[in-house]
Amino acid sequence: MAATVQIHEMSATATGTDKTAGNIRFKAADNATADANDRLQIPAAASIYSYTKYLRAYVSSAPSVDISNLRCYSDGSNDYGVGIGIQYDLAGTFSANINTDIGGTDFFTKTAGSPIDMDAINTGPFTSTGYKGDLIRLQMSVASTASPGLTSNEAITLAYDET
């Protein structure tokens, strides 16, 4: 039987919220609620940073054999506009979310052809249920050069091989 794999967002605690078919909202609050509260403001100078968002694969139904080669990527195009970006880094375990610069890598440089290795630290193959692979920590930056208004949605893809 095929596995069921979800994408969980971890905000204030290591307890995840299923976001497989939902939205992740970068904001000035440490929670997983996708609402219009705690909006990021364009600073007068320099940049500001959202609270970080951790994402991790959660296997809710075990695979027949195993899951391996966990990876994550973007479509390669930042449609947020000038002055707005997403950066990432990887972690083996959850730690408190922060709203200061994580000094990560531009997420939009990672595509299907050059994805982020999501089982580099917590290696597979994985045969059971629960959290698997690495945590990707994401953060939005907003520079003083950004334009006001709503941003478009961007896709994050989590892929894996199953045998």
| Total domain count, the chain | 1
Tens of pLDDT, residue by residue over 99-121, are: 999 999 999 999 999 999 999 99
pTM for this entry = 0.92
Tens of pLDDT, residue by residue over 127-147, are: 999 999 999 999 999 999 999
Q: What is the CATH number of the domain that holds 98?
A: 2.60.40
CA distance from start to end of the chain: 10
Nearest residue to 53 via CA among 140, 137, 142, 155: 137
Tens of pLDDT, residue by residue over 36-66, are: 999 999 999 999 999 999 999 999 999 999 9
Structural domain including 21 reads 4-162
